[in-house]
Amino acid sequence: MILRLEMPPELVLRSQEMKQADAASIAAGIPGIELMRRAGGAVAKAAAEMLTKEAKVVVAAGPGQNGGDGFVVATLLVRQGHRVSLGLLGNVERLSGDAALAAKDWKGPVEAAEDLPFPEADLIVDALFGTGIARDLYGSARAAVERMNASGRPILAVDLPSGIDGDTGRVRGVAVRAMRTVTFAARKPCHLLMPGRAFSGDVEVADIGITSKTLAASGGKLFANAPSLWLDKLPRPELSSHKYDRGHTLVVSGGATRTGAARLAARAALRIGSGLVTVASPPEALGVNAAQLTAVMLRGCDGPEGLHHILQDVRLNALVLGPALGVHSGTRAMVAVAAHARRSLVLDADALTSFEDLASELHQAFHYAPTVLTPHDGEFKRLFNGHPDILDPESKIERAHRAAVYTGAVVVLKGPDTVIASPDGRAAINENGTPYLGTAGTGDTLCGIIAGLMAQGMPPFEAASAGVWIHAEAGASFGPGLIAEDLAELVPGVLRKLLN
Ligand SMILES: NC(=O)C1=CN([C@@H]2O[C@H](COP(=O)(O)OP(=O)(O)OC[C@H]3O[C@@H](n4cnc5c(N)ncnc54)[C@H](O)[C@@H]3O)[C@@H](O)[C@H]2O)[C@H](O)CC1
Ligand SMILES: [K+]
């Protein structure tokens, strides 16, 4: 991993934002047909890399501008000596705008997409639909996609695999399984969100002359989660800094038979660099915790009153509540004490599920306490049950964003495509997750990493984004056999790469 500090964060643009960027570029003097020719040129270049000279290419073009790109690709590949057949969904007289212009350059026959000989192709170019898909595919559109997939031949998708929704990454009825995708100017959410990421294959972003300034003006708040997004805010201890400079994380433990989660979180907070870490333990679990803690300190804490007493020490500047606390009113009371104490706060697991059907108690609850919620899908659905405005949007980004605005907290909606959303509208989509993280206790470790970063002064959105990325990178560096106890010990290796 070569990290160059000056790399700007990678912007991801939604379909509507991309259309704005297109329009702005055309207004700035790049004709739409020129954008299409550059787009088609980039796809033809990628196709040529996948082909031998005499190869047979079958281009499936759709009724919109994505289809227009397909006409450009077909024209260019014929000029390069390839054997190309092109089929159109619909009829060529119905084409409009730049697609109609591109179709005029195509000198070969325009077949019906239904008749295309996909099994004979060395390469299929999928130019049926891009960002303009408006509903589930049916009829001849569906049949064309199903025949493409059934052919078993390699498919190169134009902009995005047909049938995938550009903004949500969901399959609209049926979708092309592409080996490779060439998209234009910026990736769209579907290239990072599942299952769209899986359907896209290897994604290449082609520069078609839309400037980063234009992209930032059209989008600007949605990012791919990568070090370029938060590396400048990752804590770097100064030579003169001592442990009190690096914050003090408090993790509240569950009862005598449920203490492991807190220790996993505590160890991770220490490993990510929190100057001090303390486990606040119920009296009946002090012995269990004491027997297994060394650098992590231990204090007795008897319920919400006990927590309120401990938090009189203002040096405790980051808290983790939730893992194994139990689902009941006592946990809700602990959350209230923590929120009122105005410390950085990570809420997970039981601290979220204890508010099932009571999300209204969390409404705007975290204005004064930089807070990160880390639900997985199930916890999210339970927590916001009864709030269709938050649960119903098809887009995972939109669901996380609305929950963030509602609660005032940064929301980490976990999964293979974890989304980190801030109340201020920023969001990041994570891509380095590994299936090996699917083991008990890894969520507790993530809480500790995020809290430990906030203890060192990292703002919640950046701490959550960095925490998710570092956590996944640590897991991926271990691979098969990973268990939660390994994770904290793998964090230093990831930090070394980031900080050197
Ligand atoms: N800067 C860029 O990103 C550029 C993008 N280009 C290409 O333009 C398409 C977007 O074009 P648009 O015409 O808006 O949409 P599509 O071509 O994806 O398809 C819309 C087309 O299809 C019909 N349709 C929609 N849903 C269905 C359905 N379920 N069944 C049947 N038909 C459907 C709809 O009526 C329209 O006619 C983008 O993806 C890029 O490939 C520019 O070419 C270059 C710059
Ligand atoms: K496509």
Q: What is the model's pLDDT at position 218?
A: 94
Confidence of residue 219 (pLDDT cuts 50, 70, 90): confident
Lowest-confidence pick of 64-68, 233-237, 491-495: 233-237
What per-residue confidence (pLDDT) applies to 381?
Answer: 97
Does the pLDDT of residue 1 top 60, yes or no? no
How much is the pLDDT for 391?
98
Binding site membership of 132 for ligand 1 (Cβ less than 6 Å): yes
Query: What is the rounded distance in angstroms from the CA atom of residue 493 to the CA atom of residue 500?
Result: 11
Amino acid at 219: G
pLDDT tens across 469-484, in order? 999 999 999 999 999 9
Nearest CA residue ID for atom 21, ligand 1: 64
Residue among 414, 491, 493, 428 nearest 460 (CA): 428
Q: What is the ipTM of this complex?
A: 0.96
The predicted structure's pLDDT at residue 239 = 81
- For residue 6, pLDDT beyond 80: no
Task: Give me the pLDDT at residue 241, please.
Answer: 82
Q: What's the confidence (pLDDT) of residue 2?
A: 56
Ligand 1 binding pocket includes 437 (Cβ within 6 Å): no
The pLDDT value given to residue 397: 98
Q: What is the pLDDT of residue 104?
A: 97
Classify domain 227-499 at the CATH superfamily level.
Answer: Ribokinase (3.40.1190.20)
Three-state SS for 412? strand
CA distances from residue 381 to 21, 124, 300 in whole angstroms, order as listed: 35, 40, 34
Q: What is the pLDDT of residue 474?
A: 97
Provide the residues around ligand 2 (an ion) whose CB is within 5 A: 126, 157-158, 162
Q: Is 53 exposed, middle or buried (0-12, 13-18, 19+ CB in 10 A)?
A: exposed
Q: Kindly give the residue spans of alpha helices, DSSP state H, lying in 384-456.
A: 388-391, 396-407, 442-455
Q: How far apart are CA 250 and CA 56, in angstroms?
A: 64
First to last CA, the chain: 11
Axis crossing angle, helix 97-105 with helix 65-79, rounded to the nearest 10: 20
- When pLDDT is averaged across residues 14-19 and rounded to a whole number, the result is 96
pLDDT of 163-173, one tens digit each? 999 999 999 99
The one-letter amino acid at 267: R
The least confident of 152-161, 241-250, 399-408 is 241-250
What is the arithmetic mean of pLDDT over 490-499? 96
* Cβ density class 403-415: b for 16+ within 10 Å, e for less: bbbbbbbbbbbbe
Mean pLDDT of the chain: 95
Homologous superfamily of the 15-219 domain (CATH): YjeF N-terminal domain (3.40.50.10260)
- Summarize pLDDT for 387-440 with one digit per residue, the tens: 999 999 999 999 999 999 999 999 999 999 999 999 999 999 999 999 999 989
* pLDDT on residue 182: 98
Percentage of the chain lying above the pLDDT 90 cut: 93
The model's confidence at residue 238, banded by pLDDT at 50, 70 and 90, is confident
pLDDT at 195: 98
Q: Is the CB of 183 under 6 A from ligand 1?
A: no
pTM for this structure?
0.96
Ligand 1 atom at minimal distance to the Cα of residue 38? 44
What is the reported pLDDT for 98?
Answer: 97
Residues 348-394: pLDDT tens digits?
999 999 999 999 999 988 988 999 999 999 999 999 999 999 999 99
Phi, psi of 190 (to 5 degrees): -65, -15
Tell which residue, 426, 469, 444, 490, has the closest CA to residue 219. Answer: 426
What pLDDT is recorded for position 323?
A: 87
Binding residue positions for AMP: 414-418, 443
Question: In testing the pocket of ligand 1, which one of 96, 133, 210, 215 has its CB within 8 Å of the most ligand atoms?
Answer: 133
pLDDT band at 237 (very low <50, low <70, confident <90, very high): confident
Instruction: Please work out, in degrees rounded to the nearest 5, the angle formed at the alpha carbon of residue 94 by the alpha carbons of 80 and 29.
Output: 65
In this model, does residue 231 exceed pLDDT 90?
Answer: yes
What integer pLDDT is reported at residue 53 of this predicted model? 82
Asked whether 224 lines ligand 1 (CB < 6 A), one says no
Report residue 5's pLDDT band, with 50, 70 and 90 as the boundaries: low
Residue 7: predicted pLDDT: 83
Which residues are known binding-site members for (6S)-NADPHX?
A: 65-69, 130-136, 159, 261, 376, 444
pLDDT at position 220 is 84
Is the per-residue pLDDT at 247 higher than 70?
A: yes
Cα 24 to averaged position of ligand 2 atoms, centre (Å):
23
Residues 104-121: pLDDT tens digits? 999 999 999 999 999 999
Domain ranges of the chain: 15-219, 227-499
| Binding site membership of 141 for ligand 1 (Cβ less than 6 Å) | yes
Peptide bond into 195 cis (omega under 30): yes
348 lines ligand 1 (CB under 6 A): no
pLDDT of residue 282: 95
Q: What is the pLDDT of residue 136?
A: 98
pLDDT tens digits, residue range 281-298?
999 999 999 999 999 999
pLDDT the model gives residue 119: 98
* Residue 4, pLDDT above cutoff 70: no
Residues in the chain: 500
Mean pLDDT value of segment 256-279? 96
d(CA 66, CA 20): 16
**Amino acid 3: pLDDT:** 57
Q: Is the pLDDT of residue 491 over 70?
A: yes
- Specify the pLDDT at position 240: 83
